[in-house]
Amino acid sequence: MSWLPEDFVHPVHAEVLPGHHLRPIRETDVDLDYPAVMGSRERLWALYGEAWGWPSPTMSFEADRADLARHAVEIAAHQSFNYALFDTAESALLGCVYIDPPEKPGADGEICWWVVDELAGGEVEAALDAFVPAWIAARWPLESPRYIGRDISWADWIALPPLG
């Protein structure tokens, strides 16, 4: 049984604010993703390192490409979703939003997101912070989404027992 209804069609584009949109990430985004991730690696490791072991300080360009290819396959199969945040021209990858099936009890989806270091604490991050929960409520068939790092800390999420 899928974690989403069989007839659900995932969004392929979402305007976050003027000049910034989300779309499903692709393997071909690696040229923009790799510098975004590695340029913000220390802050991203502080967020996701303990839970995901990502991004490793030795992550290669090819490892990132493989990761993005895996995400694209998961999106196509509706197993999980990784949306990249872009500028209008898609000349810069500015962050990501992850929408995943629950790994821990008490939610029907687990969502988290990040922006690159230069946008942290600014207007774009604030817009994304407001946009994601509203978008999930409006466009996704989730009754009780969990916003990891927002409504539950990563440490508290890690401490929860695994689902099942």
Report pLDDT digits (tens) over 94-115.
999 999 999 999 999 999 999 9
Tell me how far apart the alpha carbons of residues 95 and 116 are, in angstroms, rounded to a whole number: 6
| Contact between residue 136 and residue 145 where contact means Cβ atoms under 8 Å apart | yes
Structure tokens at 11: 């969004």
Spatial distance between the Cα atoms of 153 and 163, rounded to a whole number of angstroms: 18
Token representation of residue 72: 């694209």
Share of the chain above pLDDT 70, in %: 99
Q: Mean pLDDT, to the nearest integer, of 83-88?
A: 98
State the sign of the Cα–Cα–Cα–Cα dihedral 89, 17, 55, 120.
Answer: positive
> Which parts of 18-116 are beta strand (E)?
20-24, 81-87, 93-100, 109-115
Asked if CATH classification 3.40.630.30 holds for the domain at 15-157, the reply, yes or no, is: yes
The per-residue pLDDT for 2 is 77
Q: What is the pTM of this model?
A: 0.97
